[in-house]
């Protein structure tokens, strides 16, 4: 994620109370590129962050810079800071609202700051390397496009960050776009230039679209013309216009080709279909399950009726036997034994 310039200006006014001083020399750790010049300083932003974790993030930042610096034309000109925060609750009030509920990190463009919340990385099960690379891309792309870094559309920022990190944010999936292509419900990229939607569903779609479109552009044309377009963007030439000039296709042609790829070349429809198969197969067998259940209930009802009949028959047989025994006993009282036997007790 990254914050637009307006947010940065607000932060400049509000200040970053509670954050460490921004002098690079005060960082708790530092990461360097292959050259020895310090580029990124890893510092604790709030709370307590274990030394081992600091070392882990420092190593990831260093590794990320080594991979990304050549992509963006060499080592960054501006040093920047990577603030590590223990948890969301401890974030300084000035920046806390900028952390999305399902995101572990954000970058402040123009401030040369990356903020990573270690507790959220754990809670969300985020890939540490993916998070670091994602936020590094925001910082490096902004510097690469200077002095017009803020003119780069949000969709390109997030798309490139996810593409190079090899990981999406907010669980965004290309599969979620398949139905939207068919029903013409994709979000217009023009609406994703300055900011992303606030509601969770559309936000997730915005990330998925950005990732899918930029990945397709990079795979189809290579990263180089995309980055040249970013560097060419200025107040008179939008990023999109610069892109059209370098790819020799209109924006409409590019988007239509991407949508065709989504439907026919990405494999997403098959994944959606396979995901749905389980549900569909459940629906298909549901009538059979209901019939089996009804047969079972009917069998149990028949068994219960049969049992009741048997009980009635047994009771009737017992009653008949008792009556017969009573009759035999009466006959015996009427005819005493021939040997006289003991006399019956007296009746009183």
Q: Residues in the site for Zn ion, rule: CB under 5 A?
A: 1, 158, 161
Of all residues in this chain, which one has the CB nearest to Zn ion in the complex?
A: 1
How many CB atoms lie under 10 A from the CB of residue 120? 21
Task: Say if residues 145 and 73 touch (Cβ distance below 8 Å).
Answer: no
Classified as helix, coil or strand, 37 is coil
Closer Cβ to Zn ion, 86 or 158, answer by number: 158
Closer Cβ to Zn ion, 17 or 125, answer by number: 125
Classified as helix, coil or strand, 142 is helix
Strands (E), 139-279: none
- In the complex, the smallest distance separating the C-beta of residue 147 from Zn ion, rounded to whole angstroms, is 22
Classified as helix, coil or strand, 105 is strand
- In the complex, the smallest distance separating the C-beta of residue 165 from Zn ion, rounded to whole angstroms, is 9
- In the complex, the smallest distance separating the C-beta of residue 146 from Zn ion, rounded to whole angstroms, is 18
The helix (H) or strand (E) run that includes residue 348 is none
Closer Cβ to Zn ion, 1 or 217, answer by number: 1
How many CB atoms lie under 10 A from the CB of residue 347? 4
Closer Cβ to Zn ion, 44 or 108, answer by number: 108
Q: What angle do CA 267, 271, 276 make, to 5 degrees?
A: 150
Closer Cβ to Zn ion, 178 or 196, answer by number: 196
- In the complex, the smallest distance separating the C-beta of residue 135 from Zn ion, rounded to whole angstroms, is 7
- In the complex, the smallest distance separating the C-beta of residue 225 from Zn ion, rounded to whole angstroms, is 22
Distance CA 174, CA 180 (A): 11
């Amino acid at each position: 994620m990254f914050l637009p310039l307006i947010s940065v200006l607000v932060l400049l006014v509000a200040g970053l109370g509670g954050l460490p001083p921004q002098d690079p020399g005060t960082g708790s750790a530092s990461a360097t590129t292959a050259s020895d010049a310090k580029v990124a300083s890893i510092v604790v932003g709030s709370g307590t962050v274990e030394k081992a974790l600091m070392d882990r993030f420092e190593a990831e930042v260093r590794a990320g810079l080594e991979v990304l610096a050549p992509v963006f034309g060499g080592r960054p000109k501006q040093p920047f800071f990577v603030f590590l925060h223990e948890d969301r609750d401890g974030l300084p009030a000035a920046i806390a609202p900028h952390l999305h509920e399902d995101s572990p990190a954000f970058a402040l463009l123009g401030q040369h700051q990356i903020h990573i919340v270690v507790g959220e990385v754990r809670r969300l099960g985020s890939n540490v390397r993916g998070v670091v690379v994602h936020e590094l891309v925001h910082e490096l792309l902004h510097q690469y496009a200077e002095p017009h870094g803020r003119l780069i559309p949000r969709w390109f920022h997030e798309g490139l960050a996810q593409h190079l990190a090899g990981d999406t944010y907010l669980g965004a999936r290309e599969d979620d776009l398949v139905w939207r292509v068919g029903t013409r419900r994709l979000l217009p990229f023009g609406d994703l230039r300055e900011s992303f939607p606030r509601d969770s569903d559309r936000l997730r779609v915005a990330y998925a679209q950005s990732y899918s479109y930029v990945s397709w552009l990079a795979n189809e044309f290579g990263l180089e013309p995309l980055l040249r377009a970013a560097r060419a963007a200025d107040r008179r030439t939008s990023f999109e216009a610069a892109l059209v000039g370098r790819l020799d296709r209109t924006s409409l042609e590019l988007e239509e080709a991407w949508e065709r790829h989504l439907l026919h070349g990405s494999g997403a429809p098959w994944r959606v279909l396979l995901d749905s198969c389980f549900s569909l197969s459940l629906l298909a067998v549901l009538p059979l399950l209901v019939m089996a259940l009804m047969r079972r209930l009917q069998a149990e009802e028949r068994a219960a009726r049969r049992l009741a009949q048997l009980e009635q028959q047994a009771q009737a047989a017992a009653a008949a036997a008792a009556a017969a025994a009573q009759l035999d006993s009466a006959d015996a009282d009427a005819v005493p034994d021939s040997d006289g036997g003991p006399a019956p007790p007296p009746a009183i």
